[in-house]
Amino acid sequence: MGKEEGKYAWTVTVGTKGQIVLPKEARDLFNINPGDTLIILGDVERGIAIPPQNQFSDFFGEIFGKK
């Protein structure tokens, strides 16, 4: 199974304080810098999404606007 263009997957470990570290490749790809605020969207049936700021409204509608 080949990798789809523009699709990525990474693993992260949750620390004892509930913190995660975003992989450097992800931070670079989405221009995430120290001090940036991220939004975490959650749906108990579909999981968690951490959208890039410039795509927030698309992800918000996908998670909360449709069933």
Handedness of CA 30, 34, 35, 39 (dihedral sign): positive
- Report helix, strand or coil for 64: helix
CA separation for the pair 57, 63 (Å, rounded): 10
Question: What is the phi/psi pair of residue 36, to 5°?
Answer: -65, 150
Number of domains the chain contains? 1
> Is 24 within the bounds of a domain?
no
> Is 4 within the bounds of a domain?
no
> Is 58 within the bounds of a domain?
yes
Question: Which domain, by its residues, includes 47?
Answer: 33-65
Residue with tokens 């931070």: 27
pLDDT reading at 24 higher than 70: yes
pLDDT reading at 18 higher than 80: yes
Q: How many residues does the chain have?
A: 67
> Is 55 within the bounds of a domain?
yes
Specify the pTM: 0.67
26-39: pLDDT as tens digits: 999 989 999 888 88
